[in-house]
Structure 1
Amino acid sequence: MFQNLSDRLGQTLKNITGRGRLTEDNIKETLREVRMALLEADVALPVIKAFIANVKEAALGTEVSKSLNPGQAFVKIVNDELVKAMGEANEELNLAAQKPAVVLMAGLQGAGKTTSVGKLARYLRERENKKVLVVSADVYRPAAIKQLETLAGEVGVEFFPSTVEQKPIDIVNAAIQHAKIQFFDVLLVDTAGRLHVDESMMDEIKQLHAAIEPVETLFVVDAMTGQDAANTAKAFHEALPLTGVILTKADGDARGGAALSIRHITGKPIKFIGMGEKLDALEPFHPDRIASRILGMGDVLSLIEEVERKVDKKKAEKMAKKIQKGQGFDLEDFRDQLQQMKNMGGMMSMLDKLPGMSKLPDNMKDKVNDKQFVQLEAIINSMTPKERQRPEVINGSRKRRIANGSGTTIQDVNRLIKQFNQMQKMMKKMSSKGGLKKMMKGMGGMPGMGGGGAPGQLPPGMGDMGNPGAPGGLPGLGGGLPGVGGNPFKKK
């Protein structure tokens, strides 16, 4: 996400960080580069003008902190203005209403509206502990009604049936009555979309909104459409009293123009951001964390929250105790680590949130391939329980059987065993006195981790990131994420 903008801003700001003081002359060129970076990111022109003016005013008028050099102060100013442009802080859904709290979802066809209803239903059920009902008022597409019914089953919420013969207002009023009788906390209403903004569509949704009076009216918009997303949001905002925006498909948007433009143009906050196709890939939108990602400083807070939410804590503690007692690390444990990594969205999702990772060279990023984890898991699944617990018994004939069973080659099996043996050695070092401390000390050379390593330089033991199981390879950022040797991200 925001890769192009992040790369351009990172290079531009790097050129000014060594300046002795900030003057109008030495920030002029930098501001021109920042303007170009925002234009390339498809940020709306009014937003760019306001952003540049604010940065210039703050940079020339600021009293530079004694603890920062002027260049670092400028980076902080850019960071603060990015946060302001996107809305200061996360704004949660306002569900403090007489039950059921009705949430109306609006947007164009193809923006991911129905999928977002499913994702939001799961989010509210799992993280907010709400009893959720969903209903489709899209009487123009029978497939949309069926799609929502399927999604409701997958995320574990109730679906209120509707048909194309009914009127949207009648459907939603019936759903509200059912939600009241059954004591539902929230009713999510999916509405019809169109390929473009048209009068009949707006009239219909205006009438529906007036009839049901939702507590939240969320506009669902595709991040890939750039500043067009902001202009469409404005058109909907003029027709409906929007309370917020859900930005979808942000994982495929390398530019970031929509995220930076919507708040300024509509005055409405982005409340959620869709980061993938999976039904758990919906995150609350935190402007400060997104700004941090754009400037290559990572998003460790989101990573911590993800670890806390998705890691199987019992398994993690069991493995940590096992290693601390010196009982060894076997292929069953290794497979558990691969599965935990997959649950957290894969390798690239985690790397995006780590400080300094945006500075890694492309050839190193290419080595990080989530498909490798699938292959490794298939190889381990083809082994017998005895082979997983004691890999040293795996001889030539066993390797042939494992390769045939997993659809891989003997060379792939050999590679896995070699990597596993290296990882075992690393685990032994961790379980020894002061082992973890030494390993964490080695991370000092990592960009963004407080060290002075060259851009793209990995800390000792992370030189083979694309090969899970290599010393420090992943899973294994300092001993395997998550949970090996204790969860390094666990809140104190």
Structure 2
Amino acid sequence: MLENLTDKLGQALRNLRGVGKLTEENMEEALKEVRKALLSADVHFKVAREFVSNVQEQCVGQEVLKSVTPGQQVIKIIHDELVKLLGEGATELEDKKPLRIMMVGLHGSGKTTSSGKLARYLAKKRDYRPALVACDVYRPAAIDQLETLAKAENCFFYGDREEKNVVKIGKRGLDAAKNAEANLIIFDTAGRLQIDHDLIEEIKDLKNAVQPDEILLVADAALGQEAVNVAKHFHEAVNITGIILTKLDGDARGGAALSMKTITDTPIKFMGIGEKPDEFEVFHPDRMASRILGMGDVVSLVEKAQETIDQKDAERMAEKLRKADFNLEDFLAQMQQVKKMGSLGSIVGMLPGASGLQIGDEEEKKMARTEAIILSMTKQERQQPRLLRGSRLKRVADGSGVQVKEVNALLKQFGQMQKMMKMMRGGKGRKMMKAMKAQMDENGGMPGMPGM
């Protein structure tokens, strides 16, 4: 989502290389470009103006430290201002049981999907017993969708397909959830294509009836500045306590995330980063600021790895790598572990300096083809790839729906990787590491890697 903003901010700050002192003159052009980058990313114009003013005030007159470049010093200042803009510190939900949450937002923002994701997240992370109450009586199949999500996440579900009075549904759902001993009750409300009087009155009535502890606005990041206006209207109507920003995996320009906190003075608490039930995260302003500036988000990557990768398996694999005893069976296991962490694009986006790498559908398809090829092999063939000759090759190619040359290409690449591991294990390892580091320093990034 934020690649465009990241690239433009990077270009704006490159002009500060070689500057000894930050002055109004050398900062003017750079900050003008920063302001343009923010506006083109759909950041509210008032927010962009105030942001640039704050950065300029802190930058001008500062002596550049010997250990850093002017660009790095300005990036530190911009990073800190971005964190302030996004809301300092991760803002969690109220820590109480039972907890009542009302989800509000426009039609199509992802309220129902986010209700299921939030129920799943809180059940796993904070040991809640969730209940989902269907209060959308207008959208076709809204009740069915929420019921399907509830079954998938093993949640209690309440819906009434005959009743059209939302307040009655809310009250009955609350009572039913209590009787089922649920201690997290999420009310999925209806939306409209735009804010209108009926919508506002309905959610006000429901709020008074069920007395929610949290009212979360589900906002589509792709709406840009319009999302800010939506947040403002909902906040004035029902005093929202937090925001869930959805569709951050799409081509939205990211301005909504940078504007909402300032305009509504309401924290962004969660973000949806994909279609899958587990692609839902707590919003950390400092980590998002780092992503925007191309610094990656190693903390989130490590947390995700800890959640999905078994410690004993990791230790066993590390030992195999140390001994250069790594076969296609192990490679398949590693690939499947990576898939559990999310899409390749989301993982690469967390790596420092990797914001410019475009990981799209084609890379995901290549990974799927590689997995299909290995799965078409017998266990013996995965452990001893040299057995793959003639009819065996043909069988694997047919079984995975690819050509024989693609199987051969994979085997060749894997053979190269095994050779590299043996070299690393032997006396040439230190020299090889020095050569790789020199290449990285020269190119400003990682050297070319094989397709696999």
TM-score range, shorter-chain basis?
over 0.9
Contact 1:3-1:254 within 8 A present in 2 as well? no
Distance 1:132 1:464 in 2: 45
Contact 1:17-1:72 within 8 A present in 2 as well? no
Which residue number in structure 2 is paired with residue 425 of structure 1? 419
SS at match of 1:255: coil
Residue pairs, 1:100-249, within 5 angstroms: 100-249=98-247
Q: Which runs of 5+ in 2 are unaligned?
A: none
| Residue 452 (structure 2) pairs with residue 454 (structure 1) | no
Distance 1:431 1:160 in 2: 60
Cα deviation, 1:98-150, whole Å, max 9, x if unaligned, reads: x3210000000000110001111111111222211111111113401110111
Which residue number in structure 2 is paired with residue 45 of structure 1? 45
Which residue number in structure 1 is paired with residue 270 of structure 2? 272
1:164 positional shift: 4.2
Contact 2:156-2:180 within 8 A present in 1 as well? no
Which residue number in structure 2 is paired with residue 89 of structure 1? 89
Cα deviation, 1:352-392, whole Å, max 9, x if unaligned, reads: 111111245x6xx5797111111011111111121111111
Distance 1:70 1:413 in 2: 50
Over 3 Å counting, the alpha-carbon distance change for 1:81 and 1:357 in structure 2 is same
Distance 1:333 1:412 in 2: 20
1:331 positional shift: 1.3
Which residue number in structure 1 is paired with residue 349 of structure 2? 352
User: Which amino acid in the other structure matches residue 382 of structure 1?
Assistant: S
Distance 1:445 1:231 in 2: 50
Which residue number in structure 2 is paired with residue 342 of structure 1? 339
Contact 1:245-1:269 within 8 A present in 2 as well? yes
Distance 2:205 2:361 in 1: 53
Distance 2:152 2:435 in 1: 43
Over 3 Å counting, the alpha-carbon distance change for 1:197 and 1:128 in structure 2 is same
Over 3 Å counting, the alpha-carbon distance change for 1:60 and 1:164 in structure 2 is farther
1:445 positional shift: 5.4
Q: Which moved more, 1:181-190 or 1:25-34?
A: 181-190
| Residue 326 (structure 2) pairs with residue 329 (structure 1) | yes
Distance 1:438 1:313 in 2: 31
Over 3 Å counting, the alpha-carbon distance change for 1:352 and 1:156 in structure 2 is same
Which residue number in structure 2 is paired with residue 475 of structure 1? none
Which residue number in structure 2 is paired with residue 476 of structure 1? none
User: Which amino acid in the other structure matches residue 464 of structure 1?
Assistant: M
| Residue 57 (structure 2) pairs with residue 60 (structure 1) | no
Contact 1:5-1:254 within 8 A present in 2 as well? no
1:177 positional shift: 2.0
Cα deviation, 1:322-378, whole Å, max 9, x if unaligned, reads: 44455x212111111111121111322211111111245x6xx57971111110111
1:439 positional shift: 7.0
1:201 positional shift: 0.6
SS at match of 1:141: coil
User: Which amino acid in the other structure matches residue 177 of structure 1?
Assistant: D
Distance 2:131 2:438 in 1: 50
Match of 1:307 among 290, 305, 308: 305
Over 3 Å counting, the alpha-carbon distance change for 1:366 and 1:189 in structure 2 is closer
| Residue 449 (structure 2) pairs with residue 464 (structure 1) | yes
| Residue 66 (structure 2) pairs with residue 78 (structure 1) | no
Which residue number in structure 2 is paired with residue 318 of structure 1? 316
Over 3 Å counting, the alpha-carbon distance change for 1:433 and 1:123 in structure 2 is farther
Distance 1:368 1:89 in 2: 36
| Residue 18 (structure 2) pairs with residue 18 (structure 1) | yes
1:426 positional shift: 3.0
Over 3 Å counting, the alpha-carbon distance change for 1:438 and 1:288 in structure 2 is farther
Contact 1:138-1:168 within 8 A present in 2 as well? yes
User: Which amino acid in the other structure matches residue 41 of structure 1?
Assistant: A
Q: Which runs of 5+ in 1 are unaligned?
A: 469-492
Contact 1:206-1:240 within 8 A present in 2 as well? yes
User: Which amino acid in the other structure matches residue 21 of structure 1?
Assistant: K
**In the comparison of the two structures, how many residue pairs are matched?**
452
Match of 2:394 among 390, 400, 403: 400
Over 3 Å counting, the alpha-carbon distance change for 1:250 and 1:340 in structure 2 is same
Contact 1:135-1:162 within 8 A present in 2 as well? no
Which residue number in structure 1 is paired with residue 6 of structure 2? 6
1:253 positional shift: 3.4
Q: Which moved more, 1:278-287 or 1:314-323?
A: 314-323
User: Which amino acid in the other structure matches residue 458 of structure 1?
Assistant: M
Distance 1:192 1:221 in 2: 14
Q: TM-score w.r.t. structure 2 length?
A: 0.94
Q: Over aligned residues, Cα RMSD in angstroms?
A: 2.2
Identity, in percent, stands at 51
Over 3 Å counting, the alpha-carbon distance change for 1:388 and 1:292 in structure 2 is same
Contact 1:142-1:164 within 8 A present in 2 as well? no
Which residue number in structure 1 is paired with residue 363 of structure 2? 369
Q: Which moved more, 1:311-320 or 1:49-58?
A: 311-320
